[in-house]
Amino acid sequence: MTQKFDVVVIGAGPGGYVAAIKAAQLGLSTACIEKYTDKEGKLALGGTCLNVGCIPSKALLDSSWKFHEAQDGLAIHGIQGISRETLRMDVPAMVGRKANIVKGLTSGVATLFKANGVTSIQGHGKLLAGKKVEVTKPDGSVEVIEAENVILAPGSRPIDIPPAPVDQNVIVDSTGALEFQAVPARLGVIGAGVIGLELGSVWSRLGSKVTVLEALDTFLLAADTAVSKEALKTLTKQGLDIKLGARVTGSKVNGEEVVVTYTDKDGEQTITFDKLIVAVGRRPVTNDLLASDSGVEIDERGFIHVDDHCSTAVPGVYAIGDVVRGMMLAHKASEEGIMVVERIKGHKTQMNYDLIPSVIYTHPEIAWVGKNEQQLKNEGVEVNVGTFPFAASGRAMAANDTGGFVKVIADAKTDRVLGVHVIGPSAAELVQQGAIGMEFGTSAEDIGMMVFSHPTLSEALHEAALAVNGGAIHIANKKKR
């Protein structure tokens, strides 16, 4: 007998599993199909984010930063007796800790499925015509299930580039870079985006000589110019050799090292690494996802066509997350999943795509929400800008973490906040405060009138908002023209 569900979700990443849980909470019979398995061959829910992306990379970032602080950041606090000569990082133990965190979270999703009544199905899901879903099980058997509604959430995978074919030994992608069992003496990273900078930072802190090869001439093109300049200066000081305008043209593996060829303003160059990470972006996983007569449309890059509410051309079929337009971010996917399910239930839920925060978890953190100054100027919007350096923050000084600043951009006519950009301690948390205010149409004056607890890092947001209109207290205000 064919199984029938109100909602069938293909993919159990941060978009898919959240959508499935929400659907079940709203009383819809729900199934979620996932094929990914862990090293033990067991079904692992959570998608790229929990298994080989957001969570494991943050675990390594945290461990590596603690090692860095033990080497260079504790003496100022009066902590003595730690010798750089004897301090060692047990890399397998660090990677093992990461694996335990991943296992705990993925098993937690399975528990949530059970608690909410979501039917978990292991296998490869493929959408057929008529909102039927074909499931190919691990043993090769095939089952077809029917759905009133189908949510496509298959996620994305790292982009491969011909000049540096990944072998997951010497040349690795972001997944392989999470599994190094020793610190490479010479590490190359292709791509100075979020993934490249985060993974490069991890291994640089542990002793790798890291070179980042970025084809673009501009560093962090999506970030505010002031933030990207500060980030480049800081990360370079930390030891990352970031080469802009360096386009990789080839690579050759010789035993346990790789010789990389690239071109820059000076012509063709070569450089040798012990490991090479390819981090040039991600592409949607839509291969073998749709039958030819499914009715769902895909563009030339593999993205599924959807409207503002993630509906495809087929009524009752939706797509969310990395396979649709917009930024490839776990939190975007999760909120799209909730929006879709609530609309299935008849609600008029919408998403504000203009206020999706972006974060790079280097140290200092880099985060922003809304538009940056160059975007607004290109649009002809007159703005007032306020900045506040963490060097003037009492809480940052107490923590010996004073790099960076908060920048608030407001409309010069209405004072409405149009962007918040932060590089510095707890940047992600501060930007989220800005996003909450911006969602409700806050002005810089509104933020300036709020009471912020002292001493906190969030006072930097308060002062930056005050500075927009020349009212900052703890820094000299710029004179109005």
> How many whole angstroms separate alpha carbon 204 and alpha carbon 396?
24
374: which 2 tokens? Answer: 């160059």
Judge whether 214 is annotated as a binding position. yes
Q: Which residues pair with 82 in a beta bridge?
A: none
Catalytic residue from among 124, 309, 421, 454: 454
Residue 328 annotated as part of some ligand binding site: yes
Tell whether residue 193 is among the known ligand binding residues: yes
3-state SS string for 201-256:
HHHHHCCCEEEEEECCCCCCCCCCHHHHHHHHHHHHHCCCEEEECCEEEEEEEECC
Residues 6+ apart with CB under 8 A from 63: 89, 94, 97, 98
Neighbours of 349 (CB within 10 A): 15
Question: And the tokens for 322?
Answer: 């990395």
d(CA 317, CA 148): 9
d(CA 228, CA 210): 19
Are the C-beta atoms of residues 180 and 300 closer than 8 Å to each other?
Answer: no
Q: Is 198 annotated as a binding residue?
A: yes
Q: 229 among the known binding-site residues?
A: no
Length of the chain: 481
**Of 328, 309, 310, nearest in space to 320 by CA:** 310
Query: Starting at the edge strand that comes first in sequence, how are the strands of the sheet with 247-254 ordered?
Result: 247-254, 257-264, 267-273
On whether 322 is known to bind a ligand per the annotation, the reply is yes
Do 286 and 203 touch, CB atoms closer than 8 A?
no
Is 196 among the annotated ligand-binding positions?
yes
Dihedrals φ, ψ of 33, to 5°? Answer: -105, 130
- Cα separation, 247 vs 13, in Å, equals 32
58 is in an annotated binding site: yes
Rounded to 5 degrees, φ, ψ at 9 are -110, 130
Tell me if 197 is assigned to a ligand binding site: yes
Residue 293 is assigned to a ligand binding site: no
Spatial CB neighbours of 12, under 8 Å, sequence gap ≥ 6 = 20, 32, 33, 34, 36, 45, 46, 47, 109, 120, 153
Per the annotation, the verdict on 474 as an active-site residue is no
Residue 288 sits at φ, ψ, to 5 deg, of 55, 30
Known binder of ligand: residue 93?
A: no
Binding-site residue numbers for NAD(+) are: 191-198, 214, 281
Q: Residues at the annotated binding site for FAD?
A: 58, 125, 322, 328-331
Instruction: Indicate the annotated binding residues.
Output: 58, 125, 191-198, 214, 281, 322, 328-331
Q: Which residues are marked as active site?
A: 454
